[in-house]
A and B are shown apart, each in its own frame.
Chain A
Amino acid sequence: MTDALLTVDGLEAAYGSIRAVHGVDLRMAEGELVALLGSNGAGKSTTLKSIVGVLKPVSGTIRFSGEDITGKAPEQIVKRGISLVPEGRDVFGALTVEENLRLGAYAVYERKQYQADLQEVFDLFPVLKERFSQPAGQLSGGEQQMLAIARALMSHPKLLMLDEPSLGLSPAMTDVIFDLIVRLNERGATILLVEQNAERALEIVDRAYLFANGRIEFEGTPQQIRERVDVAAVYFGDGTDTDACEVKQ
C-alpha cells in the first residue's frame, strides 16, 4: 500500500456532545474494494460522513489523492472525486429520474460526456431508462437504490462509498446490488462499502475493517477475519456490546 488513495488518521467525530468515533485509521489503495463492518452504532456511517464532509471531524486528518481534505465542505470534497451513496437510498423523490441523474453530474457537467454517461448508466441499469421521466419517489426500493448508485457514478468518482446498500432490500435485489458492486470494482472503481451484513460483504471485498464502539477492532482480508473473528457475532451485535466483536484468541 504505497500509493494510498485515501488515508484517515486518528479520526474522532461527534454528534453534538456525543462522541461516535474515537481514533479511526484507514488506508485505501486505488482499485480496492473494502468494507467497514460492525453492528449498528459502531461508527461506520459516522466515518463515511466525516470523510465526505457532512460531519466535521473533532480531530484527525483525512487525506485524499495526497491532499488534506479534513473539514472541507461536502460540495468541495465531491468535486475532488469522492461520492457517497447515502443510507436509505436518499433519492430526490419529487424529482424525476432524469433530474436526479442530472444533479449527480452537477460537479463535472459537460454536455457530451453527460450524454455518454447516461448511455452507460442505461446499459448498467436498463430499468432507469424505462423510468427516465418518472418521479424517483414512484420507483421501487431496489430501483431507488440503483438510481442512487447511478447518480453517484455520474460524477466520475475516484472513490465510491456506499452506506448500507442492501438495507431494506429483498434478498434477490441484494444479490443484484452486490453483483453490481463487484462489476464496478472489476471495471476499476475504488469502493468503500459499509455493511451490517458482514458474511455477505466478506464474500466480495479485498479487505475489511471491523468496527465496535467507535473504534477499529480488527483489519484484514476476509480469510484473516474469518479465522480470527466470530463473524456472526459482528452481524448480530447491538453495538453496545464490546464482546460481540472481540477477537478470538
Chain B
Amino acid sequence: MSSKKSIREALLDHSTLLVLMGAVTIVGVVVQLVGTPLLKNIYTSFCISLMMVLGLQMFMGNSGILSWTHIGFVGVGAYVSGILSMQPMMKQLGVPNMYPFLVSLHAPIGVAILAGGLVAALLAALISYPLMRLSDAAGVITLFATLIVFHVVMTQWDNVTNGPRTFFGLQEYTTLWVALIAALATMVLAWFFRDSALGLRIRASRDDRYAARAVGIDVVRVRYLTFVLSALVMGLAGGIWAHFITSFSPKAFYIAEMFTLISMLVIGGAGSITGAVTGAVVVTIVREALRQVEAAINNAHVLPFEVFGLTELVLAVFMVAVLIWRPVGVIGAQEARLVRLKATSGGGRPAEADKEV
C-alpha cells in the first residue's frame, strides 16, 4: 500500500468503517431525540457492549484464541474507576471495610475511567505473558481459570470491592453521548489495529503459528501486546459501564456476561469489525426482545410459575444454530465491503473469507 493516496482512495479504503460509524451515530441521534427513556438506556447499553465486543475482537478475532478472561478486566476497570470517582463519604458508607488510603483517593470521573483502563492494562501486562505461551486446550483452560481467579479475588477482597455484596454509590456520568463516542472511538481503534503492523503479525500467527514463527514473528510477544491493548479497552469500557449502571457486584464480571460477549462475537463473526458490530446488534435485539417476552409472560400470570432463563436458553440455541449453519459467523472474517472496489485499488486483504473463526 502506498503512503501517497488521494483522499478519495483513503475514504474508499475505509468506507466500511465510515458506514458502520455513520449507522451507529445516526441511530444514536434518533434514539436520543425521539426515543423513550427505556430505548435510550438500551442503546447506551448497546454502545458499551459494542465497545467491549470490539475490545474482545481485537484479541480474540485477530489471535484466534478464545479468551474468557476479558470480562475480568471490565471488572477491574469498573472497580478502580468507581473507587477513584466516588466521594470519600460515599465510600465509607458503601464499603465499610475499605482500606483508609483508598477511601481518601479521589479523582474526577474522566481521570478515574482512564485510570481504570490503565490499571486493567497494567494487570494484563503483569500476568498475561506466561499465559500467551499456551495454546489449544491448555490455553483455553488457563484463561478460563484466570477468570475464576479474578472472580474469587473480587468476591473475597472486601476491603476493596465490598466482597460479593453490591458496590454502590457511583455517579451517573455515562449518557448516550458518552457511550456513543466511546464506541465510535473503539471502532476506529479496532479498525486501524487490524491493519497495523502488530495486527497483521498477530493475524498471521492465527492462521499458522508455525509459519509465522518461521518468518520471524515472535508469536508470544505479538499475542502479549495485543492482549494488553485489548485489556486496556476492556478496562475503559468497564469504567464507562460502571458510571452508567452506578451499582454492581462481582457477578456482573463473570461467566454469564462473558457468554453474552462471546455470543455476540461468534454470531457476527470474530474475524472482522463488521462481524463484531453485527453480532452486538443482533444479540442486543434478540436479548431485549426475549426479555420483553419473558416479562410479558410473567406479568400476564398465564403460567403457574415464573419464567426464568428463557433468554439465555434461546440465545444458546441461536448460537449453536449459527455455528452449524455458518461457523465463521454471519459476516465472516472479511470486512463487508459496502463500496466494492476494483482489485487494483483495494485494500489488498488476504483472501480469508472461508477461513474458520
Q: Digitize A1-45: 1 where CB-to-B-CB distance is under 8 Å, 0 elsewhere.
A: 000000000000000110000000000000000000000000000
- Nearest A residue to B353 via CB reads A17
List the A side residues contacting B354 at CB < 8 Å.
Answer: 16-17
Instruction: Tell me if B213 is interfacial: C-beta within 8 Å of chain A.
Output: no
Would you list which residues of chain B between 150 and 190 have a CB under 8 Å from chain A? none
List the B side residues contacting A17 at CB < 8 Å.
Answer: 351, 353-355
User: How big is chain A's contact interface, by range?
Assistant: under 10
How far is it, in angstroms, between the C-alpha of A17 and the C-alpha of B353 when the chains are bound? 9
Closest CB pairs A-B (n = 6): A17-B354, A16-B354, A17-B351, A16-B355, A17-B353, A17-B355
Would you list which residues of chain B between 310 and 357 have a CB under 8 Å from chain A? 351, 353-355
Mark A residues whose CB is within 8 Å of B. 16-17
Number of B interface residues in the complex (CB < 8 A): 4
Shortest CB distance B326–A (Å): 15
List the B side residues contacting A16 at CB < 8 Å.
Answer: 354-355
How far is it, in angstroms, between the C-alpha of A158 and the C-alpha of B353 when the chains are bound? 41
List the A side residues contacting B353 at CB < 8 Å.
Answer: 17
Main DSSP-derived SS at the B contact region:
loop
Mark B residues whose CB is within 8 Å of A. 351, 353-355
How far is it, in angstroms, between the C-alpha of A16 and the C-alpha of B352 when the chains are bound? 10
- Nearest A residue to B356 via CB reads A16
- Nearest B residue to A17 via CB reads B354
List the A side residues contacting B351 at CB < 8 Å.
Answer: 17
Shortest CB distance A20–B (Å): 14
How far is it, in angstroms, between the C-alpha of A16 and the C-alpha of B351 when the chains are bound? 12
List the A side residues contacting B355 at CB < 8 Å.
Answer: 16-17
Shortest CB distance A66–B (Å): 35
How far is it, in angstroms, between the C-alpha of A17 and the C-alpha of B332 when the chains are bound? 14
Shortest CB distance A18–B (Å): 9
6 contacts between A and B (CB under 8 A): A16-B354, A16-B355, A17-B351, A17-B353, A17-B354, A17-B355
Shortest CB distance A243–B (Å): 27
- Nearest A residue to B351 via CB reads A17
How far is it, in angstroms, between the C-alpha of A17 and the C-alpha of B334 when the chains are bound? 14
- Nearest B residue to A14 via CB reads B354
Shortest CB distance B327–A (Å): 12
- Nearest B residue to A18 via CB reads B354
Shortest CB distance B353–A (Å): 8
- Nearest A residue to B352 via CB reads A17
Shortest CB distance B14–A (Å): 26
Shortest CB distance A173–B (Å): 30
- Nearest A residue to B354 via CB reads A17
Shortest CB distance A14–B (Å): 10
How far is it, in angstroms, between the C-alpha of A17 and the C-alpha of B328 when the chains are bound? 14
How far is it, in angstroms, between the C-alpha of A16 and the C-alpha of B355 when the chains are bound? 8
Shortest CB distance B291–A (Å): 39
Shortest CB distance B350–A (Å): 11
Shortest CB distance A199–B (Å): 32
How far is it, in angstroms, between the C-alpha of A17 and the C-alpha of B350 when the chains are bound? 13
How far is it, in angstroms, between the C-alpha of A17 and the C-alpha of B354 when the chains are bound? 6
